[in-house]
Structure 1
């Protein structure tokens, strides 16, 4: 059973492309007003938690970095970036509407879209490569950490940190404007 340091994991707030149902991957879209409010809500959740001794690490992608800045501005002096926290690559499907990509496919829409699309994106990263990237990152952690990342990447981190490697990414849950706390393989959603 894996044992990683204590983690708080945040997904970035809603972006314009999230609201439109577009695949983002490596591309960036600005936070909406709702997305900024979600980041402020995450900041409220974290304000009651002593983050002394925690590393604060964010994806360098604009939407995650902006969320981290809003959510953590009152508690931390420095945000560190790590490319391993970036969103899963979606190849040639970046910028395309999920509904168009799902047409004629057997997919299930969820809060982060149809997860099957992320696995099958032409020239995309795929779940196996994402799992290797996320596992390597988690193994490198030496201190408790706050991670600000993306929908699919957050799910993979949490599946690995809970030791539910066989668990479907759908079942681990998702959402924006919330914080996931992981300690000793137990996940708790903080709203």
Structure 2
């Protein structure tokens, strides 16, 4: 039996900067039309989940707040903001193109490496500590609306995996990850 309650973890819908392949970090970019459709898909998934007794928390960043509003519509839940669900900090690199940063950072082999090399960035070790403290504070089942890297780190901890496995964690917009008793299930409109 897991020491954590049942959690439903959502990544925000696609943003304009996702399309442009820009790092967002603590910066923000509006959802695209597709991003709104992805949040609507999450809404349909959540409505099938039986959310009695469940609370909701969201990153306070705009893209997550808008996703939360759409994904939770008609569920009886309203997400309270929690800064611990914010995306990994990338310092001075927020808003920059991944391609440019990869060319300028020979030590970065891929986009994940950029998060470790970002000047004044948070880094994975600090993100893991933040996510661990957050998860340890939960006292009941929740829907969590967050971001790509933060979602992966939360799920990595919940599954008892090491940070080295971060690259292997499934992502996805428009889906819901249900984590219960140390197991993960990826819910889609078609599951």
Please say whether Structure 1 and Structure 2 have the same fold, judged by a TM-score greater than 0.5.
Answer: yes
1:31 and 2:28 correspond: no
Task: Report SS of the residue matched to 1:101.
Answer: helix
Equivalent residue, structure 2, for 1:48 = 48
* 1:167 positional shift: 4.5
* 1:165 positional shift: 2.5
1:116 and 2:113 correspond: yes
Equivalent residue, structure 2, for 1:135 = 132
TM-score, normalization by structure 2:
0.94
Aligned partners of 1:78, 1:188: CA distance in 2, in Å? Answer: 23
Q: Which runs of 4+ in 1 moved over 2 A?
A: 104-108
Equivalent residue in structure 1 for 2:109, among 95, 107, 127: 107
Aligned partners of 2:112, 2:164: CA distance in 1, in Å? Answer: 14
Residues 161 and 152 (structure 1), Cα distance of their counterparts in 2 relative to 1, 3 Å cut: same
* 1:76 positional shift: 2.2
Aligned partners of 2:163, 2:127: CA distance in 1, in Å? Answer: 15
Give aligned pairs, total.
Answer: 186
Residues 125 and 183 (structure 1), Cα distance of their counterparts in 2 relative to 1, 3 Å cut: same
Q: In structure 2, list runs of 5 or more residues that go unmatched.
A: none
Equivalent residue, structure 2, for 1:74 = 74
Aligned partners of 2:169, 2:32: CA distance in 1, in Å? Answer: 25
Q: 8 Å contact 1:86–1:149 — kept in the other structure?
A: yes
Instruction: Looking at secondary structure, tell me which structure has more helix per residue.
Output: 2
Judge which range, 133-142 or 169-178, deviates more.
169-178
Q: 8 Å contact 1:3–1:161 — kept in the other structure?
A: no
Task: Report SS of the residue matched to 2:165.
Answer: coil
* 1:13 positional shift: 0.2
Equivalent residue, structure 2, for 1:111 = none
Provide the alpha-carbon RMSD of the alignment.
1.3
Equivalent residue, structure 1, for 2:58 = 58
Equivalent residue, structure 2, for 1:89 = 89
Task: Report SS of the residue matched to 1:24.
Answer: coil
Q: 8 Å contact 1:13–1:35 — kept in the other structure?
A: yes
